[in-house]
Structure 1
Amino acid sequence: MTFKNFIKKVHLWLGLASGLIVVILGITGCLYAFEEELRPIIHDYYYVEQVKDKKLPISQLIKIAKEANKKVAPKQEFSGCKTFKDDKRTIETWFYEEADKDAIWYWNQYKTNYVYVDPYTGKVTKIEDYNFEFFVFVRALHQTLCFKSEIGDPITGTATIIFIISLLTGLILWWPKNKSAAKQRFWFQWKNTTKWKRKNYDLHNIIGFYTMLFTLIIALTGLVWAFQWYDKGVQALFNGGKTFPEEKRIVSDTTHYTKTIATDKIYTATLKANPEAKSYFLFLPEEKDSLATFRTFIRYENRFNDISMEFDRYTGKNLKVTRYQDQNNGEKFRFINYDLHVGSILGFPGKVLAFFASLVAASLPITGFLIWWGRNKKKKTTSKPV
């Protein structure tokens, strides 16, 4: 067996083995590419009925959300909230409850509600079962095939590794022998008489070649969520093998202990320090942990400007500010990994590129299967006895 025949075999059988999963990952990747832009369009409860002069205190809005969710899901605990610079947006609050940790499907493992509140009137516009929100379901299907992560991650991760090998073996098979062959490798030479088999073959080879770099980036960045060893390995690679000591925990000053958390003071300080931010995430400390700090995450249009802040839960004092440039190289890569994966690192044009790359990735197993099926059928026809 020649080297090229061996590569053909590897390319074929790996493609057949992982094809269905790659199709699912590619299609769901397309659907999820523009979730940030589509969610506000699809969900009218993301917006208030009328913008007014003054918003209610954030602590009051959180209290309203807690009371509303308690009526429908009394066991769920408050996890955090998100506010927006856009005055027309409602605030999002999150509630979480662990259900069956041994369940196979993600929706049976935990229950999550999102409560949306008008910041001007305090009106609850929606209590949403977040597990079955369309884009949450799409992401779960994309990431774990809707299984719990312990089951789904190895499946999608292995399929992704196989897909990467298929891309590399495909490049070897695509490589033209001479200038004459190169003409058919780089662009379509279709005529009115060109049969569908030839068109399908060209779609597999030519489009696959031009999108290979993008599909490789998507696949390689996707593995970060599938395997912890890969995640740690990539960060170590970017750090040049250098290890960093674990940071000392920052704690609240219990000498100022009070049952009341300085939520409004902290939120006001966050807004004042970051007036141009796009959105603000608030993560309140657990009531049982008296040392826990109040954390905020500030999102900008440019991800490199994002900031995280930690505050003393009792006094509202700012204890720590972490910016992108403050992190080590491994942490920097991990921070932008999602943006690389979905293309948003290049803004909207990057998302468009990621969309088409995902679409091509989904098509490759289909066009590849049709090539194999057509050749297999031809062999059976030619070998049929007269």
Structure 2
Amino acid sequence: MRKAAHKIKVALLQVHSIAGLVLALLLALIALTGSVMSFEDEIVEHLNGGIIQVAPRQAPPLMPDELVARLEAAQVAGKVASVTLSSDPSAAVRVRFGRDEQGARRTSLYVDPYDARVLGSPRGEEFFATVRRLHRWLLIPGDAKGWGRQITGIAALGLIVMLVSGLVLRWPRRARSVKMWLKPNLGLSGRGLHRSLHAVIGTWVLPIYLVMTLTGLWYSFDWYKDGVVWLLSRPHVAAAKMQPKQPRAPGRSEPAQPVGFDRAWSTFQQEEGGRFSRALLTLPAGPGTVIRIRSWGKDSTLDTTRDEFRIDAITGQLVSAERYADKTFGEKIIANVLDIHRGAILGWPGKLAFMIAAALMPLFSVTGLLLYLLRRRLRRSAQLPLARLVPGE
């Protein structure tokens, strides 16, 4: 029995070591970029405090189409993709742009809602956009459609293997002792200290790493995403979300229609009244006429706790309304995947804990590599005397 257990642990150590050696640098990169983005919203808001607010006035704010038209007349706008409007009379409007023919996207603008005066581009936007692309897709061309998405997913699967194998390898004889699990032995030095730090701190962050990887896989593999949707949502919701988009038949094109924001915005205001704090209006990416509106309530503290409406921009008819409050518990988990992934679901203490855990990933890369090299050195020193023996001795 002991021999079998020993063989299993030896095999697990090999798997753990090989996975660590292959993925150490990649996991450290992904974790560090995630750590940098932990307080992105707070940093960007602090950097742009002077352009996200305006002096409120008695005059009503411009309708979104008039605002966009003035920007285009002043030749400061490209193809507008979305606008973010607020119920706060002192909040600036944020305008985002679509990609040009080369696939590049210009930075967004903050605009005065009363006269369409450009207040400036948000500082930090390009930096965090690059960090996000590095975190999700490793800056590999194609972004979400490139190979980077699958590579980060494979790294997440490898981390799960390392977490499970590491937990089994360090399972102490006194498993009920909290001290054995959670207290590192700082009195050691060399290999003993490296092993203690690697194992004990790894135990501290193991639950966080599991949450990060299980939610991170959502963004890497469609089969994983579809499986989670099927498991956690109601059947008709799962069927709607997993239904593939029907490609347009070649040679057929829908008649071009001027699509603006005003009718959809008016319908949304009639539907919501004063219950929203801000709303993101996004034009259709294709030839359709349905505008998507994401809105956040005044008591919303998370980016993912939002309602979503789809409104026809030509007729102003409400096509669908998906309210966060009407979701089941499982569907709320799906809606909050991003905030669970970064710890924001637990407020700023959760984001801080997840940031620290992510920043500690290089520690495991370094200590793991040192332990591997020291094991190889010990094996060589143990085999060296035998190699020097001559036949007959």
Q: TM-score range by the shorter chain?
A: 0.7 to 0.9
Counterparts of 1:61-76 in structure 2 under 5 Å? 61-67=67-73, 76=78
Match of 2:202 in 1: 208
Q: Counterparts of 2:310 and 2:234 in 1: how far apart (Å)?
A: 29
* Structure 1 residue 210, shift from structure 2 partner: 1.9
Task: Give the equivalent residue in structure 1 for 2:92.
Answer: 90
- Equivalent residues in 2 for 1:1-386 (5 A)? 2-44=7-49, 46-48=51-53, 50-54=55-59, 55-67=61-73, 76-97=78-99, 99=101, 109-127=103-121, 133-147=126-140, 148=142, 149=144, 150-178=146-174, 183-191=179-187, 194-239=188-233, 245-246=239-240, 263-271=261-269, 273=272, 275-285=274-284, 288-289=287-288, 292-300=289-297, 301-303=300-302, 306-327=306-327, 331-380=331-380
Is the contact made by 1:27 and 1:359 (CA closer than 8 Å) also made in structure 2? Answer: yes
Helix, strand or coil at the partner of 1:310: strand
CA RMSD of aligned residues (A): 3.5
Q: Deviations over 1:286-330 (max 9, x none)?
A: 7954xx223211023245752112223234343432112545776
Per-residue deviation at 1:372? 1.8
1:297 touches 1:306 (CA, 8 Å); kept in 2? yes
Distance across 2 between alignment mates of 1:17 and 1:302: 39
Cα–Cα, structure 1 residues 368 and 56, in superposed 2: closer, same or farther, change >3 Å? same
Aligned-partner SS, 1:133: helix
Normalising to structure 1: TM-score of the pair?
0.80
- Range with greater deviation from structure 2 (58-67 or 348-357): 58-67
C-alpha deviation, 1:207, in angstroms: 1.5
Q: How much does 1:282 deviate?
A: 0.6
* Cα distance between partner residues in 1 of 2:215 and 2:120: 34
- TM-score, with length taken from structure 2: 0.79
Mind listing any 5+ residue stretches in structure 2 that lack a counterpart? 1-5, 246-254, 389-393
The structure-2 alpha-carbon separation of the partners of 1:98 and 1:177, relative to structure 1 and needing over 3 Å to count, comes to farther
Q: Which amino acid aligns with 2:110?
A: Y
How many residues in Structure 1 have an aligned counterpart in Structure 2? 362
The structure with the largest alpha-carbon Rg is 2
Does the CA-based 8 Å contact 1:200-1:371 persist in structure 2? yes
User: Which 10-residue stretch deviates more, 168-177 or 109-118?
Assistant: 109-118
Q: Return the alpha-carbon distance in structure 2 between the equivalents of residues 38 and 274 of structure 1.
A: 31
Cα distance, 1:142 vs structure 2? 0.5
Q: 1:302 to 1:179 in 2, by over 3 A?
A: closer
- 8 Å CA contact 1:283–1:296 kept in 2: the answer is yes
Compute the displacement of 1:12 (Å).
Answer: 0.5
My pick for the range that moved more, 16-25 or 76-85, is 76-85
Identity %: 24
User: Letter of the aligned partner of 1:83 in structure 2?
Assistant: L
Instruction: Letter of the 1:15 partner, please give it.
Output: G
Q: Deviations over 1:55-87 (max 9, x none)?
A: 33322222233445x557xxx532111123454
Residues 198 and 346 of structure 1: is their aligned pair in 2 closer, same or farther, counting only changes over 3 Å?
A: same
Moved more, 18-27 or 267-276: 267-276
Once the two structures are superposed, residues 123-150 of structure 1 have per-residue CA deviations (whole angstroms, 9 ceiling, x without a partner) of: 11235799x7111111111101111232
* Structure 2 partner of 1:103: none
CA shift in 2, pair 1:352/1:277, >3 Å = farther
Q: Distance in 1 between matches of 2:344 and 2:23?
A: 27
Residue 245 of structure 1 deviates from its aligned partner by 4.7
Q: Structure 1 residues 109-118 or 348-357, which shifts more?
A: 109-118
Q: Distance in 2 between matches of 1:326 and 1:277?
A: 16
TM-superposed deviation, 1:344: 1.6
Q: Could you tell me how far apart the structure 2 residues matched to 1:371 and 1:243 are?
A: 49
CA distance in 1, matches of 2:39, 2:64: 29
The amino acid that maps onto 1:62 is V
Deviates more, 1:197-206 or 1:9-18: 197-206
**Residues 64-123 of structure 1: CA deviation (Å, up to 9, x unaligned):** 33445x557xxx5321111234544421112122545xxxxxxxx443431221223321
Q: Which amino acid aligns with 2:261?
A: T
Q: Return the alpha-carbon distance in structure 2 between the equivalents of residues 258 and 327 of structure 1.
A: 36
Residues 339-382 of structure 1 show CA distances to partners (whole Å, capped at 9, x for unaligned) of 11111222222212221222233432222112223333455566
